[in-house]
Structure 1
Amino acid sequence: MNAPVHLAETVVSSQKSPDAQKRITMPNASTKPKHGRRSRRRQRDDPARNELVSSSLESAQQCLFNQDYGTAFVHYLLALNLAPVFKDFAKDSFRFTLFKWADELDSLGRIQDLFGCYEQALELFPNDEFILNSVGEHLFKMGYRDEAACHFHKALKMRPDYPEARENFYRVANWLVERWHFLMLNDRGRNQKYQQAIHRAVESGCNTVLDIGTGTGILGMCAKKAGAAQVFACELSKTMYELACEVVSANGLGGQINILHKKSLEMEVPKDIPQRVSLVVTETVDAGLFGEGIIESLIHAWHNLLLPPQSDSESSEPSATGRVIPAGATVFAMAVESPEIRRHHRLCFSSVGGLSLAACGELRSPVSCNTVPDDSMEPYTTERLSRLPGGYTALTQPFTALNINFNSVQELEGLSSRPVQRLWLPITKEGSLDALAVWFQLHLDRNNSLSTGPEEDTCWEQAIYPVHTTKDFALMLGDKLQVEVSCHDAYLRLCSVAVLRDGHEILLDASIPDQPDPGPNPNPEAQLCSALASLQTDHSKDFCLLESAEMALLNNQDYHRSFQSAVSKLFSHLKLANPRHVQDSSDPLYALDVSEGFSLLSLIAASQGHVKAYSSVEKDKQQEVLKKLARSNNIPERSLEFWLNCTEDDQGPLQRPPTEKLWSAIMLDCVETCGLIRQKLMDKASLARCLLEEGGRIFPERIVVHGMLVESDMLLLESAVQGKEPTLGFNIAPFINQFTVPVHVFLDFSTLDCRHLSEAAELFVLDLMDTNANYTTRQVKVKVTSAGRVTAIPFWYDIYLYEDISVSTLSHNSHWKQAAVVLQEPLQVQAGDWISLCVTLHKSTMSISAQPDNQPQPMD
């Protein structure tokens, strides 16, 4: 079944050998015709070539029959390069061979060979939508989202009705063109302030401009419109680079703005731009200001691409000096309490699903800011504070954490060597310290600035520096919180260090041991003594990292409690039906948990007794945590196994147990954290059903999808550039709106700014246990309860684990977010109207279309 490796590698490597390439693809192309008349002469038949083509095609068919896909691919490649006339005839067989061989190369880890084969295939069929889509799938799997989306997008251009490419493109488009691009372009105030600052700079003599991280090209076009003589731009993302080129060309500036597909750090004079520029414009800032590398790029620009800055003591002309927009920034921060932030970054409960977690050690998210940089940790995450479920409480007044002047190269270079700044902040409100929230004011010039503060109506989120080590420790009025501010590695770092109480300094980086709940009015002296005592204990620095979504899952009490009830009910039923499972210790029930990431479900199953549970947890440290929990909860060591340690095929964990028995329960992870059904869920469910013993069940057994009609301008602003008016006079919307996706993910429906226009309605049912109960399309009629515009249909799930035991992804402590279908054209409705929804499921991807219903009937 395996192909001769040497033959496949010879063809793959021919890409690197010009002579070999000529021999295969263009046998007579190396000799250029000396006379024009000669090129019109009829090419003679070459019997030897024809014989080679014929035998190669026959050999390819025989290899296919023998499932020798590598050799078949080589024969097809040779034949079709020599005789392109056969391409249409052999296209389907060639595709089939390519995909089979690619899967084998992927499973063998021969990634370079895999993409070499695809390159050669695309030379033969450059516009084949199936090959383009398949290349994109492999690229996406390898983490190359930008390149993957380019292939998906091109496949859709070739065939707009190709569902696999469309669904793949939608999956990746949220990362490819991030949703903040739409919000930013819809933010008229932000756009106008940038335009005004650029206009003033050009008027003052900044004739040559470089736009770093141009995105859609809007800032570069503003500079050209303002009268700049030369405008250059650079963009690292291939997709955004191509988009910017389209936008600039469509606005008649194609020959006037030179866009480069590269990092500004790689640009040189005169290789990339003929001379140093007098103005750099950029918005390469994230919620934490420095996270997109603005410091490094500006230092490089001042040394290599920008004219020197104007000195106060100099009287040189403005055209001989350089400057940057934005000119600088001021960073603000405050300490906050937020249950939502807490449950995503540290363990909030001592027991989950009937399991004591005392032995698990310290669990934390990978977002943790320390004064000493740690490559395994991210210093901050981002949240829109105004939309946090449950809200937040400010525990201190906002304070200034940092000022930075982007027009001073000395200040930029000295930022990382600044001494750590230590601030003592009075506590203004009692509460639990969960995070430091950070925002900034971006000073474009002397006249214009932009604020990213939590109270601003802006496209920005805030940076969140979560605190991990203050469990059961409440800040009180009269306390002072010490915060350290530093920037050692081009990231802004804020760290809560200590609390000053009654003259005693309590360090927060020492783990505070679990204490009984002191009630609403804890004794301050007892709490202080407990905190001080903890400083004398040598606490292990050893901890286990969980993704923030995994931490939120661990803190989802309802889910684990419901699962415990469901699995207990199933196993009790199976034990009653077959008593040997209890009487014979060598014949236990078998349970398999194939959840994504860290999961306690296998342990909960094993805790039921006479159950052997298999976990799909992969990371060694996380496996150690489960083993510790098993021991501390008196679960026999033999009752827990790690499935991927028992099988060589890590791509297909849905197999029989090693004993050749069947599974009593298989736990599938059905819903992604972002709010979408997991890809290939129904395929996995079909396979899982074949592996169940009589009476065995899949968890969950069915999923009911609910939705609601809403009016939400916010969802429109985050999904596409709105309005018919050009953005600052530039035609941008038609181009970036190509990357609009119909489903908005990672949505918090409880805090979404919207009006409910209907009651919740059942939209769809996925039955994982009964394949005959499923359908692909369902028509649902929904009655409008309030007049307005239907702009979106948020949806969520009731997940039925077993019989009537269920959990909802809409509950207040759910680790899942919600999603919403955003309509391309809003529907104007009146109370009493009926809307017909067509809900379609294609390979686990759900789509919803809506239209007025002229003959309404009550919904089933």
Structure 2
Amino acid sequence: MTNRIAQLTALLPKVSDDPRALIAIARQMIAAGDRPRAVALAEQVHAMTGGRGEAGVTAAEILSDGVFSWHFVIPRDRARNDAYEQALLRAIRPGCRVLEIGTGTGLLAMMAARAGATVVTCEADAAIASAARDVIAANGYSDRVTVVSKHSTDLDPTRDMGGLADILVSEIVSNDLLSEGVLGAHEDAVARLLAPDGVVIPPRGTIRVALARDLRDRAPRLGEASGFDLSAFNRLAAPNELVRVGMDQVALCSAPVDLFSFDFATADPRKPERRELDIPSLGGRIDGIVQWIALEMDAVGRYENRPESGTASCWGALLWRFPEPVDTEKRDTVTVGGAHERDRVRLWVSD
């Protein structure tokens, strides 16, 4: 404990009933590098104020910092929830020990506990871990689910888990599949935290792509505005755009193609890859390449957020726009390049 944090801690008994003073100390705790203590103080103030007033709102700001909007979107995806739960039900046996990476709301951990498993779930963010404990307690699973406030790579299988897990479950995949660090986390967990004959859910994930036409009625880039040419500013535009699945925002202009597939059940490090594909067009204008994900939950179950499926998904697709639209005839081929660097994906149209 640093001197500054010790000084702030010494002040707490003197202001224990003053929400504004507690929040002031919490903010200084953050500046001093002790976010877990700041989160605990913010939770105390939130309970005191009910989230009302300046102190309550500031407490909510502290608690929500680093908590992304998708934490509130993902649990509402019934198809995703059902795919995970059915895979858990098929895998869990009496006396089974489950490790979950990335607690979030605690939903998957409670599913596993409801199916009869004893669960350890880890969460690196202190505010999320604390809220998940309350969710789990409110649903009556505190005796079956233990939340450990650590990143999975910091877990000790004996001290934190009581032994190796029989099942590893996670949902640390992103819109592009990789950017939440799923490969590194799984490689470590399979090597250190999972029994040799353990089950991984999901065991495999695939990045799928297709040629696509943007159906949204909007200008994709800057041009003329108030008599000025702003097009030079377009070089600052992100190379990909989020596409909401199930909302008819893009039309597929080719058959889907598997670009990269990843084995999440191996401890062998996956090397960066690069490849090119000749994709036959269905004809018409092509604005870019759309990318989405498919998860094999086990030998039976599968979850895919295909943009044209008509079903909404908690994960979005990504449209990698060409510099200019391309007009094609049916069966014209477009050469598409793709690369991943283990935690990042990049797509482009080849010259």
When normalised by structure 2's length, the TM-score is 0.83
Residue 157 of structure 1, CA deviation = 1.6
Give, as a single letter, the amino acid of the residue that structure 1 aligns with 2:183: I
Asked if the contact 1:342/1:466 (under 8 Å) is kept, the reply is: no
Give, as a single letter, the amino acid of the residue that structure 1 aligns with 2:175: A
**Alignment equivalent of 1:402, drawn from 260, 266, 277:** 260
**Alignment equivalent of 1:443, drawn from 287, 290, 296:** 296
Residue 248 of structure 1, CA deviation = 2.5
Quote the residue 2:328 is aligned against. Answer: 476
**Alignment equivalent of 1:331, drawn from 203, 207, 216:** 207
Aligned partners of 2:65, 2:20: CA distance in 1, in Å?
22
Residue 291 of structure 1, CA deviation = 1.7
- Partner SS state of residue 342, structure 2: coil
Quote the residue 1:608 is aligned against. Answer: none
Aligned partners of 1:174, 1:395: CA distance in 2, in Å?
40
Aligned partners of 2:125, 2:96: CA distance in 1, in Å?
27
Quote the residue 1:495 is aligned against. Answer: 347
Are 1:220 and 2:109 matched, yes or no? yes
Asked if the contact 2:245/2:317 (under 8 Å) is kept, the reply is: no
Give, as a single letter, the amino acid of the residue that structure 2 aligns with 1:334: A
Residue 260 of structure 1, CA deviation = 0.7
Give, as a single letter, the amino acid of the residue that structure 1 aligns with 2:279: L
Aligned partners of 2:275, 2:323: CA distance in 1, in Å?
22
Residue 162 of structure 1, CA deviation = 3.7
Quote the residue 1:128 is aligned against. Answer: 18
Aligned partners of 1:480, 1:174: CA distance in 2, in Å?
47
Give, as a single letter, the amino acid of the residue that structure 1 aligns with 2:265: N
Alignment of structure 1 residues 333-732 onto 2, 5 Å: 333-338=209-214, 347-349=221-223, 351-357=224-230, 360=232, 363-365=235-237, 367-368=238-239, 380=240, 382-387=242-247, 391-410=249-268, 413-414=269-270, 416-418=271-273, 420-431=274-285, 433=287, 435-454=288-307, 455-467=309-321, 470-471=323-324, 473-477=325-329, 479-491=332-344, 493-498=345-350, 507=351
Alignment of structure 1 residues 776-855 onto 2, 5 Å: none
Higher gyration radius (CA)? 1
Residue 354 of structure 1, CA deviation = 3.5
**Alignment equivalent of 1:207, drawn from 96, 113, 118:** 96
Aligned partners of 1:243, 1:404: CA distance in 2, in Å?
32
Runs of 5+ in structure 2 lacking a partner? none
Asked if the contact 1:453/1:462 (under 8 Å) is kept, the reply is: no
Q: 1:476 to 1:151 in 2, by over 3 A?
A: farther
- Partner SS state of residue 314, structure 2: coil
Residue 406 of structure 1, CA deviation = 2.0
Quote the residue 1:287 is aligned against. Answer: 175
Q: 1:495 to 1:180 in 2, by over 3 A?
A: closer
Percent pairwise identity: 22
Give, as a single letter, the amino acid of the residue that structure 2 aligns with 1:227: G
Aligned partners of 1:394, 1:142: CA distance in 2, in Å?
51
Asked if the contact 1:145/1:175 (under 8 Å) is kept, the reply is: no
Residue 294 of structure 1, CA deviation = 1.2
Residue 219 of structure 1, CA deviation = 2.1
Aligned partners of 2:27, 2:200: CA distance in 1, in Å?
40
Aligned partners of 2:317, 2:30: CA distance in 1, in Å?
28
**Alignment equivalent of 2:185, drawn from 297, 301, 316:** 297
Alignment of structure 1 residues 191-206 onto 2, 5 Å: 191-203=81-93
Residue 198 of structure 1, CA deviation = 1.2
Asked if the contact 2:243/2:319 (under 8 Å) is kept, the reply is: no
Q: Deviations over 1:99-136 (max 9, x none)?
A: xxxxxxxxxxxxxx6x7765454353244210233456
Aligned partners of 1:302, 1:161: CA distance in 2, in Å?
41
Name the one with the larger strand percent: 2
- Partner SS state of residue 154, structure 1: helix
Quote the residue 1:686 is aligned against. Answer: none
Quote the residue 1:154 is aligned against. Answer: 44
Q: Deviations over 1:615-668 (max 9, x none)?
A: xxxxxxxxxxxxxxxxxxxxxxxxxxxxxxxxxxxxxxxxxxxxxxxxxxxxxx
Quote the residue 1:105 is aligned against. Answer: none
Residue 244 of structure 1, CA deviation = 1.9
Asked if the contact 1:234/1:263 (under 8 Å) is kept, the reply is: yes
Runs of 5+ in structure 1 lacking a partner? 1-14, 18-112, 309-320, 369-379, 499-506, 508-860
Aligned partners of 1:184, 1:197: CA distance in 2, in Å?
17
Q: 1:137 to 1:401 in 2, by over 3 A?
A: same
Are 1:262 and 2:116 matched, yes or no? no
Q: How many residues align?
A: 349
- Partner SS state of residue 341, structure 2: coil
Give, as a single letter, the amino acid of the residue that structure 2 aligns with 1:486: A
Give, as a single letter, the amino acid of the residue that structure 2 aligns with 1:363: R
Quote the residue 2:122 is aligned against. Answer: 234
Asked if the contact 1:427/1:475 (under 8 Å) is kept, the reply is: no
